[in-house]
Chain A
Amino acid sequence: MTVLSVTNLSVVKRDRLLFENLNFAVEQGGLLYVKGQNGAGKTSLLRVLAGLVEADSGDVYFCQQNIKDDRENYHQNLVYFGHKLGINLTLSAVENLQYWCQQHQVNISVDTIFHTLAQLNLVGLEDIPVANLSAGQQRRVALARFWFKQEARLWILDEPFTALDTQGIELLSIQITKFLGGGGSVIMTSHQALRLEYPTDELILEYRI
């Protein structure tokens, strides 16, 4: 079954055509790996796919339904992880995650949050303002989202491995593989070589002048 499909997608940014007439589809259990140089338009593409930005032309369909028509249903099934972490630096890790879960209507007990943070090697750092954590640790807090939203069917990850150590990369890779194995679909970009034991589709964006 096709989870996400894209027809004739074009995006222009600051008078520069990033890509035009892009067509692709992501099946259930599929992993799409978006490749391209810096400035090729990977982040712009992912933001359009997530529904944060509208494309200049073309449409994005989630389960055959245009995402413009049923934003709410689409976002209920989506977890997006972008360059901005979506973590408030004044609040603690637990507060941030609790807030995110309430926002996304995910029912999770505080114990589960503590447990997940422990899995992510953040024991003892749950209650201090996130500003006091290192860049990699802050990313781990943000990544904890991928452990919570069970009903999601699509993950969109923009450079998830940046600033993570090898153990962090491995943890996330395992989680992604598990999600794919359970029938989820993933769209991601990464400048690191993927070390996922999973069949990967590739989409290569050319840098255009």
Chain B
Amino acid sequence: MAALMAILKRDLALAYRQRAELMQPMLFFILVISLFPLAVGPEPKTLQLIGPGVIWVAAILSSLFGLERLFRDDFQDGSLEQLMLSSTSLPAAALVKVLAHWLTSILPLIILSPLLALFLHLSEPMYWALLKTLLLGTPLLSLIGAIAVGLTVGLNRGGVLLALLLLPVFIPLLIFATSAVESASMQLQYNAQLAILGAMFLFSLALAPFAIAYALRVSQT
């Protein structure tokens, strides 16, 4: 347990010291979303129609941006080797690293989302639905993304490959999340979509740590 706390503390401290690198995906997120009202025009109806989709697409793309950070430095400087050679369980350590990554690079996006929802003229029920889907869906992005990062960390310039591997996997997430917000815009129930997102999240929470650990071991060869 102490070892896992140490990982969390270290990763948070590192994130704080590498603020500039962390800002990049966040700026990308803000830029994409703030450009849409300018490009499409300020018509509230149009914006409401495309808003949830725009926010989700921007969230997925900007999370892909920062994803490589998760294991890249640790792999290159050998910290990962030393982690594997400790008695700390690797799946648990991977889960803690994913948590640290989510806290530092995704949570700020969620905190910014009310402001961006305002840009896109989302109504209040739509915003709450969006927030719920983001809270359930983005940990899934981090967990599944970490498997792909684990697999590609040994390759130089795995960035494009990472996107190609991950985007198809994220499509169901995107469909259910935006459909929840769409239902909310019509004052309908959206519990079903949330339940599916929750199920996907719990499923990946249970299995992804082992897959990440396996991917990291494979990358050592």
Chain A interfacial positions (CB closer than 8 Å to B): 47, 50-54, 72, 75-76, 78, 80, 82-91, 95, 98-100, 102-105
Contact = CB atoms under 8 A, between A and B. Distances in A.
Contacts of A76: 87
Contact of A82 (B17, B18, B81): B81
Given A84-B77, A84-B78, A88-B79, A50 B85 contact: yes
B81 A105 contact: no
B86 A84 contact: no
Contacts of B124: none
Given A90-B17, A91-B10, A95-B10, A85 B85 contact: no
Interface string B4-31: 0111001001100110000000000000
A75 B86 contact: yes
Contact of A102 (B3, B78, B220): B3
Interface in B68-101: 73-74, 76-79, 81-88
Contact of A103 (B14, B77, B83): B83
Contacts of A104: 82, 86-87
A105 B13 contact: no
Category for how many chain B residues contact A: 20 to 34
A143 B162 CA distance: 35
Interface centre among B10, B14, B83, B87, by most A CB within 10 Å?
Answer: B87
Given A84-B76, A84-B78, A75 B87 contact: yes
B221 interface: yes
Contacts of A52: 81, 84-85, 220
Nearest to A87: B77
B40 interface: no
A99 B78 contact: no
Contacts of A82: 78, 81
A95 B9 CA distance: 11
A162 B2 CA distance: 33
Given A75-B87, A82-B78, A103-B88, 13 more contacts: A51-B85, A52-B81, A52-B85, A72-B87, A84-B77, A86-B78, A88-B73, A90-B14, A90-B18, A95-B10, A99-B10, A103-B6, A105-B87
Nearest to B76: A84
Contact of A95 (B13, B77, B83): B13
A165 to B, nearest CB: 22
